[in-house]
Structure 1
Amino acid sequence: MKREPLDPENPFAVPSPLPYGLPDYSRIRTEHYRPAVEYAMAEHRAQVEMVASDPSGPTVENTLVALERAGRTLHRVLTAFYNQSSADSSPELDALEEELAPRLAAHRDAIHLDQRLFARLEALVAQVEAGTLTVEPDTAWLLERTHTAFVRAGVRLDAAAQERLRALNARITTLETVFGREVLAATNAAAVLVTDEAELDGLPDDARAAAARSARERGHESGWLLELQLPTAQPQLVTLRDRGLRERLHRASSSRGLAGEHDTRATLLELARLRAERAQLLGYPHHAAYVAADATARSAEAVGDILGRLAPAAVANARREAEELTAALHEDHPGATLQPWDWAYYAERVRSRARSLDETALRPYLELDRVLHQGVFRAATALYGLTFTERTDLVGYHPDVRVFEVHDVDGSGLGLFLADYWTRESKRGGAWMNNLVDQSTLLGEPPVVVNNLNIPQPPDGRPTLLAWDEVITMFHEFGHALHGLLSAVRYPSQSGTEVPRDFVEYPSQVNEIWAWEPQVLQAFAVHHETGEPLPSAWVETLLAGRQDGEGFKTTEYLAAALLDQAWYRLAPDEVPTDPEQVEAFEAAALERAGVAFAPVPPRYRSAYFNHVFSSGYSAGYYSYIWSEVLDADTVEWFRENGGLRRENGDVFRARLLARGGSIDPMAAFRDLRGRDPQITPLLERRGLSAAAGA
């Protein structure tokens, strides 16, 4: 690739001059990305070629460290690009991402299939094993992981197999981009327009106002637009009294991608087939085995064991819950069958009767800004001594983005945190964390991290009031942010969340517990108009109801995780070829796994399962429950040591968060806990102990 100079007017021509290396989105335009990527790829290849062709014998410095330093311009451009394409996309960005996907796959292959580089790595591994080279633990782990990455990328395959592998990688990355784009389009198109306000009976005033705003922004002169979130279950179903509208909303959600202009079925089938072929090419029976082998699970069988152990107990709990909800349903609709669109509404009715507290009453006490400052940030201050200052002088990639400078306990600047909480048509669904700058002492770079949620935006001047699940999501995603912000590693590839997929959710799930901590909860749960704290009886009720609905929650999650495994345990010739077979495959897979319970559909159906067909969780959606084993066990550790205390935060930071991916993650867990993880705390948390035989 010819290395043309980059226009000095391009914002990527030099590192960002902004604090902490924040990308200068005030100057970045769509037209800047393509030339910057092309230049940066050529630069990276030249840097790698210098390593590969170095006549000197391989050393840590001229091979491992040199590879870590290489490609930093490309990394800067792509982190800015992918962040924007996921959170504030456009047709132009979508087209560019699809164009670049196969080129970037080829670029990665050119590096990982370079026999000269691999020979240098092999030589270093041999020296370490022979005892002639002694390295620091983080360098030893970097060598092991880099060597493994080359092997898993196919460097040991023959020329013909590598040629096929390159073609597979190029096509897979293109299809991932296509799937994500079409899911976003399908989700936007499936939003439900309501023209009769009477149908909105039960929807809180703030949510109704947000729906009216959405309708105007999407070009409707009147009405209310109920925009969809990525999971099957939609939050409006909790309060909408009109059963017909609830059904319309559920059917709109659960049918995304199954037909029409944004049908994703052919794309997901090709992805499943090509990933299966690639896995077999690399020596694995299927893609699930390939993924698990490089995770803490180590095998697809281990994944199957934990999912299989939990599923019967979860479904049994869901069936018991359904009996109670059916009785409530019959009060309004005698003889009716409980449907998926009824579950959330009647679960809330049953819960409010039992607990004297419902979602509508709770929302005025959960104002977004107060939850952020007096909840999310307050817990981080109590645990780690961090403080946060909003930097209105710094701008993000969209006007909704807020930028906060994070200060360490000694007052020094630690990094930047970007908060992007409102939904919009240009943002993909769900909630996630991105790195814009990876922490690294080697490069002298502090972290810059982003949290994205999809909360409906109220009209100007109105507060953003949250559902309790949205509060938990804020704490969860900030747990990922802390993993990035508190990283203290040498090598950029080991920064923060650069850990196995089935470990990365662990710190974020631990952080959820502080939403329930009474001293934190009482600080952020304050009425947005009166300033009155959440009544103490309500706090007790909220805490007492933590296990409410766990049968539903666990079953809908496990159904999605088992569906993911079902797709990726297929050999290439076992993947259906007709898109019309997708729904039948789903039904059979759920039945076979024992989670086919009609009132509780999977959290994601295949046609909009963005996690596993577009976002890096293919055959890895089990990671949440796998990580929750570690999380629940760690919560016990916090409780045993006094809970929300600086001393505990300092230990958790030093032994786990700060280490990022610089150590075997299970070794970090054992260093914290003093033993291997135990599943009992998870079973108790989810109300599964008796049914699971614990």
Structure 2
Amino acid sequence: MADTANPFFTPSTLPYQLPPFAEIRDEHYLPAFERGMEEQLAEVDAIVRTEEPTTFENTMLPLERSGQILQRVAEVFFNKSSSDSTDFTNALEEEIAPRLAAHQDAIRLNPALSARIADLHARLDELGLDDESRYLVERYHTEFTLAGAGLDDADKERLREYNQRLSTLTTRFEKNLLADTNELAVVFDTAEELAGLGEGELSAAAQAAADRGLDGKYVVTLVLPTGHPWLADLTGRSSRERIMTASRARGTHGGEHDTRDLVLEITRLRAERARLLGFDTHAAYVTADQTARTPEAVADMLGRLAPAAARNARAEQADLQRLMPEGQTVEAWDWAHLTGAVRAEKYDVDFAAMRPYFEAERVLHDGVFYAATRLYGITFAERPDLVAYHPDARVFEVRNEDGSELGLYILDLYTRDSKRGGAWMNPLISQSSLLGYPTVVVNNLNVPKPAAGEPTLLTYDETNTLFHEFGHALHGLFARVTYPKFAGTNVFRDFVEFPSQVNEMWMLWPEILENYAVHHVTGERMPQELVDKLHAAESFNEGFATSEYLAAALLDQEWHRITADDTVDDVAAFEAAALERVGLDNPAVPPRYASTYFAHTFSGGYDAGYYSYIWSEVLDADTVEWFRENGGLTRENGDRFRSRLLGVGGSKDPLEAYRDFRGRDAQLEPLLKRRGLDR
């Protein structure tokens, strides 16, 4: 294919090198992947064939410049496959995933290349490199070593087989889960069955039904976590049970979309691969290159939190039980609904009453963007002239206070059957001065889309999620690095959630809340009394929230602490035993994700790493204390946080960057207080 015929073969000429989505066709992807891999292997071959002595300039710099076509097509394709999948993208992803795994192995297991990197690493003190360049050598050396560079040829071949098979299985897990999630969406015949929902929610359910050709009915699509946000409002217990039962059934009811065999094979192969690489377990392999360093450190922290969380959840459950009719016990599908009643009783807080104050446009512009402007001085302007990958995706240009260009931000807010569950951030173009690249980042959420003309009213949790995901976007936008390897959010997995969790803080910060929490009909601001009650109830139900999260995090660890000699053949039995061992086997408090729909760990790159949310929250809670101690939402504080943490990307050890910002290591106490675990 001629260069002019494939938009991936050359850099985009659009502002910020935004991919030319209007020109991209399905037939462009595979040729771009193939040429991209071929070109990068040729670039690596040129590095190792040079007869000159190994230097940073003839090894690391061309390595960092390599693979630009592949990077362009991969960022666009994998964003599309997760946010707007089709039969074509599903088929191509299954085909290309093992080929990409083999391609990566061809680079990381190249003995001549790893020898050159090892040589540079051994002479680091003699090279006179700046800090970022020195860290680049260190990171490559560590990653190549962990990837198996030191294995003999036979073991390298076994490793390649593991990697390719695992890439196929994890891709299949994601596709099966999406298909099963769509198939298990719950159909209701009448609006009465959905009593308790607001007009916007009913409109979204009716629209979801119409989109499936079920005019006159109502469809409740499932979200990625076990619990559905509408369970809090639905008054009909049987309707709540239907939704919860469908959610928990994903991947377990036989047929082509069952994920249980995938879970078993994935975990077995990961354990075997870990042993090949010199580790007892996959968890040990993963944490060796994270800030945690060992699974024992993870287990120690989670183990300190689990008993108190389980104890608090049992106390909360007893409080809920008094609201149940005689002869009935609190079930998982009752929890959110009863919690709302108890919250209203104890604190007079009604989350449903808040939704009219969380109109999506107002939250975005006068909340999320406004907080970023006050803290960092950046500004946002929508660019309707720039075409994104889907009609619902909107493009915003972001500039620094002095008017200089910062990047593009794309928001894709609404759910659809072609989008995987959850919420996330993706880069499309990642800044690096070596390549002269700018920044383009995407936030994806799954907010139900109301019918045309109806306002989009966010739930409390959806508002929080938008602030959270925008924290990832800021991390991607602010990072200013030399090398592509350190661009944006390319940091340790158990640190990546830290900036996003900090950004959640601004949702309820007084100056921010009063600016966006405005009734979408009356224009009145959210009453201060309601805000005060909300703050008073901040640690309410944290036993449940912490327990459901920890159950998933510990389950992830258990699956990845099995050894290559262990035999597991029953997913449900393994899960039940794992939860029982840590005291989190309360049926009324199921894990946030059960094994069969645990996308984070079986297809999302968080394998043995789901603990990172609460690991990062230690830093987050400690950072919130710092902001409060230093005057809160000020430009001076924002500039410090941006320059010392967000702006360094992955070019510095994250804990070292945190110490540079905070002046010390993070302390656990603020997290314990936040989650009500200090009593």
> Normalized against structure 1, the TM-score is what?
0.97
- Alpha-carbon deviations, 1:75-134, whole Å to 9, x = none? 011000000000000011000000001111110000001111111111111211xx3211
Say which SS state the counterpart of residue 503 (structure 1) adopts. Answer: coil
Alignment partners' CA distance in 2, 1:358 and 1:141: 50
Stretches of structure 1 lacking an aligned partner (at least 5 in a row): none
Alignment partners' CA distance in 2, 1:405 and 1:339: 47
- Residue correspondence of structure 1 range 82-121 to structure 2 within 5 A: 82-121=78-117
Say whether residues 1:252 and 2:246 are aligned partners. yes
CA contact (8 A) 1:587 1:596 kept: yes
**Segment of structure 1 superposing worse, 538-547 or 418-427:** 538-547
Residue matched to 2:121: 125
- Aligned sequence identity (%): 56
Say which SS state the counterpart of residue 688 (structure 1) adopts. Answer: coil
- Alpha-carbon deviations, 1:438-472, whole Å to 9, x = none? 11111111110000000000001111001101111
Query: Which of 591, 612, 618 pairs up with 2:607?
Result: 618
Say whether residues 1:642 and 2:637 are aligned partners. no
Say which SS state the counterpart of residue 427 (structure 2) adopts. Answer: strand
Residue matched to 2:547: 555
CA contact (8 A) 1:273 1:573 kept: no
Residue matched to 2:423: 431
Q: Which amino acid aligns with 2:38?
A: A
Say whether residues 1:347 and 2:339 are aligned partners. yes
Alignment partners' CA distance in 2, 1:336 and 1:444: 64
- Alpha-carbon deviations, 1:311-359, whole Å to 9, x = none? 0000111011111111122xxx222110000000000011112222312
- Residue correspondence of structure 1 range 200-211 to structure 2 within 5 A: 200-211=194-205
Alignment partners' CA distance in 2, 1:425 and 1:31: 23
Alignment partners' CA distance in 1, 2:120 and 2:423: 40
Residue matched to 2:137: 143
CA RMSD for the aligned pairs? 0.9
CA contact (8 A) 2:310 2:547 kept: yes
Say whether residues 1:599 and 2:588 are aligned partners. yes
Residue matched to 1:302: 297
> What is the number of residues matched between the two proteins?
678
- Alpha-carbon deviations, 1:6-37, whole Å to 9, x = none? 45211112111111111111111111100111
Residue matched to 2:478: 486
Alignment partners' CA distance in 1, 2:212 and 2:326: 39
Residue matched to 2:558: 566
CA contact (8 A) 2:479 2:487 kept: yes
Residue 53 of structure 1 and its aligned partner are, at CA, apart by 0.9
Say which SS state the counterpart of residue 460 (structure 1) adopts. Answer: coil
Residue matched to 1:57: 53
Residue matched to 2:597: 608
- Residue correspondence of structure 1 range 240-279 to structure 2 within 5 A: 240-261=234-255, 262-279=257-274
Alignment partners' CA distance in 1, 2:439 and 2:372: 16
Residue matched to 1:683: 672
Alignment partners' CA distance in 1, 2:253 and 2:345: 41
Q: Which amino acid aligns with 2:310?
A: V
- Alpha-carbon deviations, 1:415-452, whole Å to 9, x = none? 00000010000000000000001111111111100000
Alignment partners' CA distance in 2, 1:32 and 1:575: 44
Say whether residues 1:671 and 2:663 are aligned partners. no
CA contact (8 A) 2:443 2:469 kept: yes
Say whether residues 1:162 and 2:162 are aligned partners. no
Say which SS state the counterpart of residue 689 (structure 1) adopts. Answer: coil
Alignment partners' CA distance in 2, 1:269 and 1:72: 36
- Residue correspondence of structure 1 range 176-187 to structure 2 within 5 A: 176-187=170-181
Say whether residues 1:233 and 2:230 are aligned partners. no
**Segment of structure 1 superposing worse, 541-550 or 342-351:** 541-550
Residue 361 of structure 1 and its aligned partner are, at CA, apart by 1.0
- Alpha-carbon deviations, 1:243-276, whole Å to 9, x = none? 0010010000011001233100111111000011
Alignment partners' CA distance in 1, 2:440 and 2:447: 22
Say whether residues 1:281 and 2:281 are aligned partners. no
Alignment partners' CA distance in 1, 2:283 and 2:666: 23
Question: After TM superposition, what 4+ stretches of structure 1 lie above 3 angstroms from structure 2?
Answer: none
Say which SS state the counterpart of residue 126 (structure 2) adopts. Answer: coil
Alignment partners' CA distance in 1, 2:280 and 2:122: 29
Alignment partners' CA distance in 2, 1:260 and 1:189: 13
Say which SS state the counterpart of residue 168 (structure 1) adopts. Answer: helix
Q: Which amino acid aligns with 2:622?
A: D
Alignment partners' CA distance in 2, 1:254 and 1:575: 25
CA contact (8 A) 1:87 1:427 kept: yes
- Residue correspondence of structure 1 range 38-77 to structure 2 within 5 A: 38-77=34-73
Residue matched to 1:11: 7
CA contact (8 A) 1:6 1:35 kept: no
Residue 545 of structure 1 and its aligned partner are, at CA, apart by 1.5
Residue 554 of structure 1 and its aligned partner are, at CA, apart by 0.2
Say which SS state the counterpart of residue 658 (structure 1) adopts. Answer: helix
Q: Which amino acid aligns with 1:505?
A: E
Residue matched to 1:194: 188
Residue 575 of structure 1 and its aligned partner are, at CA, apart by 4.0
Say which SS state the counterpart of residue 434 (structure 1) adopts. Answer: strand
Residue matched to 2:20: 24
Say whether residues 1:383 and 2:378 are aligned partners. no
- Alpha-carbon deviations, 1:31-69, whole Å to 9, x = none? 110011101111111111111111111111111111100
Say which SS state the counterpart of residue 533 (structure 1) adopts. Answer: coil
CA contact (8 A) 1:254 1:605 kept: yes
Alignment partners' CA distance in 2, 1:352 and 1:31: 55
CA contact (8 A) 1:475 1:511 kept: yes
Residue matched to 1:416: 408
Q: Which amino acid aligns with 2:286?
A: V
Residue 217 of structure 1 and its aligned partner are, at CA, apart by 0.3
Q: Which amino acid aligns with 2:317?
A: A
Residue 546 of structure 1 and its aligned partner are, at CA, apart by 1.3
Alignment partners' CA distance in 1, 2:571 and 2:122: 48
Q: Which amino acid aligns with 1:493?
A: K
Stretches of structure 2 lacking an aligned partner (at least 5 in a row): none
Q: Which amino acid aligns with 1:134?
A: G
Alignment partners' CA distance in 2, 1:273 and 1:94: 25
Alignment partners' CA distance in 2, 1:120 and 1:158: 17
Alignment partners' CA distance in 2, 1:301 and 1:461: 53
Q: Which amino acid aligns with 2:658?
A: F
CA contact (8 A) 1:6 1:36 kept: no
CA contact (8 A) 2:209 2:218 kept: yes
CA contact (8 A) 1:272 1:575 kept: no
Say whether residues 1:461 and 2:453 are aligned partners. yes
Alignment partners' CA distance in 2, 1:29 and 1:182: 25
Residue matched to 2:522: 530
Alignment partners' CA distance in 2, 1:154 and 1:392: 47
Q: Which amino acid aligns with 2:145?
A: V
Say whether residues 1:291 and 2:286 are aligned partners. yes
Say which SS state the counterpart of residue 512 (structure 1) adopts. Answer: helix
CA contact (8 A) 2:291 2:494 kept: yes
Alignment partners' CA distance in 1, 2:50 and 2:413: 48
CA contact (8 A) 2:191 2:202 kept: no
Alignment partners' CA distance in 2, 1:348 and 1:74: 49
- Alpha-carbon deviations, 1:374-400, whole Å to 9, x = none? 110011001100100000001111100
> Normalized against structure 2, the TM-score is what?
0.99
Residue matched to 1:503: 495
Say which SS state the counterpart of residue 413 (structure 2) adopts. Answer: strand
CA contact (8 A) 2:626 2:662 kept: yes
Alignment partners' CA distance in 1, 2:666 and 2:132: 23
Q: Which amino acid aligns with 2:25?
A: R
